[in-house]
Structure 1
Amino acid sequence: MSNGDDEAADEEAANEEADAGEAEETALSADTLDQRLDDAEEALDAAETEADLDDVEEDLNEIEADVEAADLPEPDEDDEDAEDPAAELEDRVADLRDQLEDQRGPYADDVVAALEEAQSTITDTRWTEDGRPDVVAAVDSFLKTVESEIDTAISAESGDSEDLGDAVDQVAQVVEGSALDPDEDEETIAALLEAAETLQDDLEAAEEWDDLTVRQQLDAEGFYDVLESENRKDFPAEWNAVKVYEELGEVEPIVKALETFDSDFMEENVLDTLWRMGPEEAYDAVHQRAQKRNKRPVQILGKIANDDATETLHDFIDGDGDAALQKVTLRALGEIGSEESVQPVAQRLDADNYEIRSAAARSLGLLGDTRAIEPLADILDGDEANEVRASAAWALNRIGTRRALDVLEGYTDDRAYLVQAEAEKAI
């Protein structure tokens, strides 16, 4: 081929490339992209099946990619009213996507999801006596609709929440396994979804326990039955009932009151009652409040005096810097009297605060374990605070073994009167 032919071929290729570039630029112009979106909108309006909607979605994906690839003009920064072609196109794509999703379905999966939510509501909710019949009626109505739509007879064995929930779950499983087609079975799916949503609405309207006021809840549980009719009028009736239950030694209603009342006054008085009673049945409710490092619940744990209470109090023994809490905790551990507490209590004899050291010494005396004799003897001999030394002397007397008393006998002429008094008791 001659040089002239080569030049002609190169020129032709260059022209073809230029034409292709112009064609691509034209295809990615704002007007062309806008027209393609008009066509997609028309196709969306005409779509009758899921396949039609899939085609529209594919078109939108291509248009969105082309909008991103197009070299569209930037808006004039000096003109606040200037249009941004790219932003306008992206907004149209987003709007059409929303319309597309609105036209899809309904699907069997939508029905299943609604039924799973309804089942959870039925089984997880505590219904009132007035609310339960409404729940039963709502489920029965739903099951009748299901039977008429998909010829499946399912019933609840009883009005129990578990049975009602199981019936709804069975329907969900049937729907999930029926392979309902969103095009061919559109009316059936729509009817089932409407029935499921109606069930949800009916459950929402049914009265549940949390809809009641505190007084209504307590009244429904017979909390006030212990009061004479005239005493129910006294204010507050709740406190009068707690006092009666204390006299009767009935712990459960008192704990129920503690867990139900939203009143600082009632909580304080109920905790005082439990402190006087020290019932093991109150452990869970008291333990929950003790986690907030409140002192009265800690004192009650000392009265309850079980292994769980001891373990909890060991966690509080450093008091997070709260000296008052540490003293209460040490006293409570002493009252429980577990040998497991000797070492953690003895470690508080090294506290910087003399009141904590004093409380630790007295707690060791209450524990009464002979392993505490040597640490207490060291405190009696070397602590700079007479209050702490007096507490150590008291603790040694409380332990009361020959070895403990022998330690004390050497302090009859001590500089502190309280130490002298304890030493004289030992003699």
Structure 2
Amino acid sequence: MSNGDDDPADASKGADAAGDAEEAADAGESTERTAVPTRPDEATEESLNEYLDEIAALLDDAETEADLDDVDALLDDAEDGLDEADLPEPDEDDEDDDAEDPRGDLEDRIGDLRESVEDARGPYAADVVDAIEAAVATIEDTEWTADGRDDAADAVDAFLETAGELVDVDAFPDHDELEEQAAALGAVAEAVADADLDPDDDADTVAALLDATDDLEAGLDDAEEWDDLETHEQLRAQGYYDVLGHYKDYPVEWSALKEHEKRGNVDMILLALDSLQSDFMERHCLEALERMGKRAKTDASLEELLGRAEKRDQFAISILGKMAAAEATETLVEYVPEDSNPQLQKAVFKALGEIGAAEAVQPLADQLDPQGDTADLVRPHAARALGFIGDTRAIDPLADALAEDDSDDVRAAAGWALRQIGTRDALETVAEYADERSFLVSTEAEKAERSLDAASATA
């Protein structure tokens, strides 16, 4: 029943639920269920609580999704009754946490019943699909040990066997191919979605599939991952210590590192760099790569060092220079004008020179002009880098620095760089300063003269 002020559409919700129960009785279904309640005519705290008691009893008897839909409709109806009820409001000035709030208590009770309805729903085929897709992601994203791959494969095999008995799917790949097994799980997920399993009629099938996915998840959780191993166990499993017969250096990781450097095992040095989280071993790993120079240049080492160089790591920049890693040129050229960090500039200039980066000629030449308080610290290094690169485009700016710069260090470095470029034009430019007052500059000029004389003698 409803009072005369109720909206007909709202009042019909409880009636609809009651009508469903009557239809079920007419169809011969069991009627030994709690009667469908109706909202009280007068909405008071007591009457609404009684209404919710009856809804809770109906929820306890619910057996199908339709039954739960009826309960949801009744809860909507109860909320409408609560909105219309004239209930006392708590005193805003009352600081007592236990102050009476009938409306709030009823709202909380309706919320709890709604949660119970959601908990009672399902299980659904979509839950099975989500669980399978989560297992696929685990398989594809996890780095397994050898034993772990085998255990994970066992878990997938068991799931596929169970799933094959419950849904129409033919997916039984080779046990040893975990990637193929992941694809097979995807095929099962598609088969479950296509089977259009009803949460009521096919509840047993859906529940069995969910039990199987729980077993699959547990099996994958138990399978051994690399992250489950201690660092030394990971290194041992990957053969890091295999190079050791006997050793005297401590720690043993350092002994193995020296042997890997001697043998040119760049991948093992990178493994140690990644795995051994200590400043001591990090320094020795990087020093090993630096000493190896071009021998240390691999795709993996470039990726590691470029990542560090992008964070302005001067040691990594130095190693890239020793490797003559042209791949680093673009990154390093960006740092050439950073006059606020002269130490970084010096490392970058040297590395670009060792790389022989022609793209750096103009940026380095720009650094020959006095700029700021730290200019004298870096300009000689810019000149020497141009000499290492050996590009003839640098002759004119180096000649200008030799003729006009106020710093003898810069002028001597420019003279040295011109000698490294080594063309007749470059050598003659330096040789003109043989009588220079600066010993450093005159020394470079004398060396240039000897080079010209030697070239003439062999002509």
- Which category describes the TM-score, using the shorter chain as reference length? 0.7 to 0.9
Task: Compute the displacement of 1:320 (Å).
Answer: 7.8
Tell me the equivalent position of 1:242.
257
Cα pair 1:111 1:193 within 8 Å, conserved: yes
Choose 255-264 or 403-412, whichever is displaced more. 403-412
Distance change >3 Å, CA 57–CA 318, structure 1 → 2: farther
Is residue 74 of structure 1 aligned with residue 96 of structure 2?
A: no
Query: Distance in 1 between the 2:169 and 2:416 partners?
Result: 81
Q: Match for residue 120 of structure 2? A: 103
Is the contact made by 1:154 and 1:170 (CA closer than 8 Å) also made in structure 2? yes
Task: Write the distance in 2 (CA, Å) between the matches of 1:157 and 1:363.
Answer: 58
> Hey, what's the Cα distance between the residues in 1 that align with 2:417 and 2:168?
81
Aligned partner of 1:420: which letter?
S
- For 1:150 and 1:343, the matched residues in 2 are separated by 69
Report the CA distance shift for 1:96/1:284 in structure 2 as closer, same or farther (over 3 A). same
Aligned to 1:115: 132
Q: 1:304 pairs with 323, 338, 349, which one?
A: 323
Residue by residue over 1:101-134, the C-alpha shift from the partner in whole angstroms, topping out at 9 and shown as x without a partner, is 1101111111111111111212322221222222
* 1:419 corresponding residue in structure 2: 441
Amino acid of the residue matched to residue 365 of structure 1?
G
Residue 419 (structure 2) aligns with = 397
The alignment of Structure 1 onto Structure 2 pairs a total of residues equal to: 407
Match of 1:193 in 2: 210
**Structure 2 CA distance for aligned equivalents of residues 110 and 320 of structure 1:** 59
Shift in alpha-carbon separation, 1:247–1:78, aligned structure 2, 3 A = closer
- Which is helix-richer, 1 or 2? 1
- Which ranges of structure 2 fall in alignment gaps of 5 or more residues? 12-38, 450-459
The answer as to 2:382 corresponding to 1:367 is no
Q: Secondary structure at the match of 1:276?
A: helix
Contact 1:290 1:297 in 2 (8 A): yes
- Is residue 383–residue 417 contact of structure 2 (8 Å, CA) maintained in 1? yes
Instruction: Show the counterpart of 2:290.
Output: 275
2:304 paired with 1:285 = yes
Structure 1 segment 23-422 matched on structure 2, within 5 A: 27-68=42-83, 70=85, 72-79=87-94, 80=96, 81-150=98-167, 152=169, 154-228=171-245, 230-231=246-247, 234-278=249-293, 279-281=296-298, 282-319=301-338, 321-350=340-369, 351-352=371-372, 353=374, 354-422=376-444
Preserved CA contact (<8 Å) 1:355 1:388 = no
| Distance in 2 separating the partners of 1:345 and 1:27 | 89
Secondary structure in structure 1 of the residue aligned to 2:221: helix
- In structure 1, give the amino acid aligned to 2:56: E
Structure 1 counterpart of 2:272, one-letter code? A
Q: Which residue of 2 aligns with 1:10?
A: none
Amino acid at match of 1:82: A
CA distance in 2, matches of 1:217, 1:127: 11
Q: Name the SS for the 1:349 alignment partner.
A: coil
Query: Aligned residue for 2:27?
Result: none
Cα distance change on mapping 1:274 and 1:77 into 2, 3 Å: same
CA–CA distance in structure 2, aligned partners of residues 71 and 291 of structure 1: 67
RMSD: 2.6
Q: How far is the alpha carbon of 1:188 from its aligned partner?
A: 1.4
Identity among equivalent positions (%) equals 49
Deviations 1:175-195 (A, max 9, x none): 111111111111111111011
Which digits, 9 at most, give the CA deviation of each residue in 1:38-94, with x for residues without a partner?
Answer: 332222112111011112112223433554565543211333242122221221121
How far apart in 1 are the matches of 2:331 and 2:110? Answer: 61
Q: Is the 8 A contact 1:143 1:153 kept in 2?
A: no
Distance change in 2, residues 1:345/1:181 (3 Å): same
C-alpha offsets along residues 276-321 of structure 1, whole Å, 9 cap, x if unaligned? 1122212122222222211111011112223312223223334483
CA displacement at 1:206 relative to structure 2: 0.8
Q: Secondary structure, in 3 states, of the residue corresponding to 2:354? A: helix
Gaps of at least 5 residues in structure 1 are 1-17
Instruction: Describe the superposition over 1:308-344 as per-residue Cα deviations: whole angstroms up to 9, x where unpaired.
Output: 1222322333448322111001001001112222112
Paired with 1:35 and 1:108, the residues of 2 have a C-alpha distance of 36
Following the alignment from structure 1 to structure 2, what is the Cα–Cα distance between the partners of residues 320 and 387? 18
